[in-house]
Amino acid sequence: MKYLIPFLLLLLITCQSYMPWKSEWKTKDGTEVFYAAVSAKASVQAIESGSLAMRRSTCVNATNLLSTSPKLTSILLEQESIQLDEVETKDLGRLISAHKIKPKQDSCQPEDIGYFFTSPAWETCQCLYIIEYPGGRNQFQQDLTHVK
């Protein structure tokens, strides 16, 4: 019985509840901005090295690479439930690039799901990026109409 409480505490610590972020439009400081959730994986070398710091840095760097214009365009389109053909998608990508939008990394978290005692922390991760689309969601929807 005296080992039950420490065991339960250990179980609580190792069973962190991971809640994935979702991509969505939100109002921040009176301005409508888009929060894009981007997931990635740490490098094979980092995973094999066993270094937590290396796994974390390579995973976060991978999300930075994925937060480029084509990926963000697809996340924005997904949010609006709109499908464009290849030419329209390229036109929208050029329009977004013309706005010179620089996504800002807001926060990152490891995607540690279902592990109890040995956690491969930061082998996969998710970062949230803030996209300040000029004119907010209304302007983005107008831009979508323009390329259609």
Q: Is residue 105 part of a domain?
A: yes
Residues 6+ away with beta carbon under 8 Å from 140: 34, 76, 80, 133
Q: Is residue 53 part of a domain?
A: yes
Q: Would you state the pLDDT for residue 96? A: 82
pTM above 0.85, yes or no: no
Residues 6+ away with beta carbon under 8 Å from 106: 35, 127, 128, 129, 130
Q: Which domain holds residue 139?
A: 24-147
Average pLDDT, the chain: 84
Q: Is residue 29 part of a domain?
A: yes
The total of structural domains in the chain comes to 1
Q: Is residue 54 part of a domain?
A: yes
pLDDT tens digit sequence for 28-81 = 888 999 999 999 999 999 999 989 999 999 999 999 998 887 888 888 889 888
